Amino acid sequence: MSAGVSRVSRIVVIGSINMDLVIRCETIARPGETISGRSLEEIPGGKGANQAVAAARLGAAVTLVGRVGDDAFGQLLRDGLEREGIDLRFVWTTAGTSSGVAVIQVDDRGQNSIVVIPGANAALTPADVWAAESAIAEADAVLLQFEIPQETVAAAVLLARRHSVRVIVDPAPAREDVDATVLSADWLLPNETEAERLTGLPVQTADEACAAAVSLRQRGCLRSVITRGEHGVIMADADGELWCVEPYRVVTVDTTAAGDAFAAGLAIGLSQGKSDADAVRYACAAGATAAARPGAQPAMPSMRDVELLMREQPESGRLSRLPVAPR
């Protein structure tokens, strides 16, 4: 490799592939309420597929492990992923099953409410993960989420660990019954709601986020990062130190896949040899760029997009050490 040329990151994403049915409306409907929406769109999504697309656009060679149904959505989803240059050798079609679907309400502030119907994603098994062992063994990082069965996520963590491959887990959608193996990942990336579900602690203030980040490390993960939207990120690093990362400032349009862009950005940053702090900064910029755009996969940023935001906002993404962990 010639001097100054970065090696292409090799990322394996194991996770969900969905068609997102996106309803745009002034406000998100409350229980028992009927409201009028403005539009309905079919947009490729699923946390696994979103992260795969984000990693590919950020310059990685990406292999996706997942399942789609034998319906019209399944073929549309495959076609879109192929256009992104993603390796689909380990994406199987499950006969007699619908593809995963997510029904998403997005309000005028860019906030969202999501209902996920797993479909074929629920049929992704540990055996499927083992079938992709050759790709996992050669990867720089494995990305995982919770829209596939827990036993499959746990199998992926164990297999990646066998090959000394970095494991990054985005624990969404939030759940309480998380396998201890999953919590032993190298990186755990919950948002505030997910951190509350995982720890049983309130996570509304910076101090509470710090306490939750410490609690997650005590439960087994090497590093925990709690994403807090416009309030930035709280990170507990491998030495148990606490850090706050300032957010990048954008006009929020749709937060649906911001966390997926963050996870992919972190994987790319680490795979390119960035320090933990610099990789988290890069991830923050990737997530912010995605939040400024509508949709899931259409919102995933390119490497150029992320670098542009970081150049335009050199004062953002600042890292501050928090001297005392709250008790």
Closest CA to 129 of 196, 61, 190, 48: 48
Asked if 258 and 270 count as a contact pair (C-beta separation under 8 A), the reply is: no
Asked if 134 and 10 count as a contact pair (C-beta separation under 8 A), the reply is: no
Residue 131: which CATH number? 3.40.1190.20
Q: What confidence score (pLDDT) does residue 6 get?
A: 64
* Three-state DSSP state, 317: coil
Query: Could you say which DSSP state residue 191 is in?
Result: B
How does pLDDT run across 167-221, given as a tens digit for each residue?
A: 999 999 888 889 999 999 999 999 999 999 999 999 999 999 999 999 999 999 9
Residue 177 lies in a domain: yes
Residue 117 lies in a domain: yes
pTM of the entire predicted model: 0.91
Query: Could you say which DSSP state residue 7 is in?
Result: P
Residue 107 lies in a domain: yes
* Three-state DSSP state, 290: helix
Residue 193 phi, psi dihedral angles, 5° rounding: -65, -45
Residue 181 lies in a domain: yes
Q: What confidence score (pLDDT) does residue 326 get?
A: 44
195-66-96 Cα angle (round to 5) = 115
* Three-state DSSP state, 166: strand
Residue 49 lies in a domain: yes
> Any idea which residue has 């720890």 for tokens?
199
Residue 16 lies in a domain: yes
* Three-state DSSP state, 63: strand
Q: What confidence score (pLDDT) does residue 88 get?
A: 98
* Three-state DSSP state, 250: coil
pLDDT in tens, the chain (327 residues): 444 446 899 999 999 999 989 899 999 999 999 999 999 999 899 999 999 999 999 999 999 999 999 999 999 999 999 999 999 999 999 999 999 998 989 898 888 888 889 999 999 999 999 999 999 999 999 999 999 999 999 999 999 999 999 999 999 988 888 999 999 999 999 999 999 999 999 999 999 999 999 999 999 999 999 999 889 999 999 998 999 999 999 999 888 889 999 999 999 999 999 999 999 999 999 999 999 998 889 999 999 999 999 999 999 989 888 865 444
Residue 3 lies in a domain: no
Residue 34 lies in a domain: no
List the structure tokens of 309.
């935001």
20 is catalytic: no
**Residue 90 bridge partners (DSSP):** 65
How does pLDDT run across 84-119, given as a tens digit for each residue?
A: 999 999 999 999 999 999 898 989 888 888 888 999
144-208-186 Cα angle (round to 5) = 25
Of these residues, 128, 260, 276, 305, which one is catalytic? 260
Q: At what angle do helices 276-291 and 303-312 cross, to 10 degrees?
A: 100
Q: How far apart, in whole angstroms, are the C-alpha atoms of residue 116 and residue 104? A: 9
Instruction: Please state, in angstroms and as integers, the Cα–Cα distance from residue 53 to each residue in 31, 49, 129, 132, following that order.
Output: 34, 6, 19, 19
List the structure tokens of 172.
């969404």
The percent of the chain in helix, strand and coil, each rounded to the nearest 5, is 35, 25, 40
* Three-state DSSP state, 252: coil
Q: Which domain holds residue 50?
A: 10-26+39-322
Domain count, the chain: 1
